[in-house]
Amino acid sequence: MASVSGAGALARIRGLYPNLAPAEQKIADYVLDNPEDVIYATVTQLAERCGVGEATVIRFCQSAGFRGYQELKLSIARDLVSPLANINEEIAPDDTLAAITQKISISSLRAINETLKVLDLDSLDRTISLMLKAKKIQFCGVGASGLTALEAKYRFLRIGVWCEAYLDAHFAAMFAATLGSRDVVIGFSHTGSTKDTVHCLEVAKGAGAHTVCITNHPRSPITKVAEITLLTSSPETPLGSGAFRSKMAQLLILDVLFTGVAMRMQKSALQASEKTAKAVLDKLY
Q: Which residues contact 36 (CB under 8 A, 6 or more apart)?
A: 80
Q: In this structure, are residues 146 and 194 in contact, taking their beta carbons and an 8 Å threshold? A: no
Query: Stretch 33-54: mean pLDDT, rounded?
Result: 92
Selected from 3.40.50.720, 3.20.20.210, 1.10.760.10, 3.40.50.10490, the CATH number assigned to the domain covering 121-279 reads 3.40.50.10490
Specify the CATH number of the domain 1-85: 1.10.10.10
For the entire predicted model, the pTM comes to 0.77
* Terminal Cα-to-Cα distance of the chain (whole angstroms): 48
Residue-by-residue DSSP string for 53-64: -HHHHHHHHHHT
pLDDT over 60 (residue 236) = no
Query: Stretch 188-214: mean pLDDT, rounded?
Result: 97
Q: Among positive and negative, which fits the CA dihedral 34, 37, 43, 49?
A: negative
Count the residues in the chain.
285
**pLDDT recorded at residue 235:** 63
Q: How large a percentage of the chain has pLDDT more than 70? A: 91
- β partners of residue 138: 164, 185
Query: Stretch 35-50: mean pLDDT, rounded?
Result: 92
Residue-by-residue DSSP string for 186-249: EEE-SSS--HHHHHHHHHHHHTT-EEEEEES-TTSHHHHH-SEEEE------SSTTHHHHHHHH
Domain ranges in the chain? 1-85, 121-279
**pLDDT recorded at residue 7:** 64
**pLDDT recorded at residue 108:** 82
Query: What burial letters (b/e) apply to 122-159, b meaning 16+ CB within 10 Å?
Result: ebbebbbebbeebebbbbbbbeebbbbbebbbebbebb
Integer Cα distance of 28 and 34 in angstroms: 10
- CA of 85: how far to CAs of 88, 93, 98, 103, 108, in Å? 7, 19, 20, 13, 16
Q: In this structure, are residues 160 and 268 in contact, taking their beta carbons and an 8 Å threshold? A: yes
Reduced to 3 states (helix: H, G, I; strand: E, B; else coil), residue 138 is strand
Residues 267-283 pLDDT 10s? 999 999 999 999 988 88
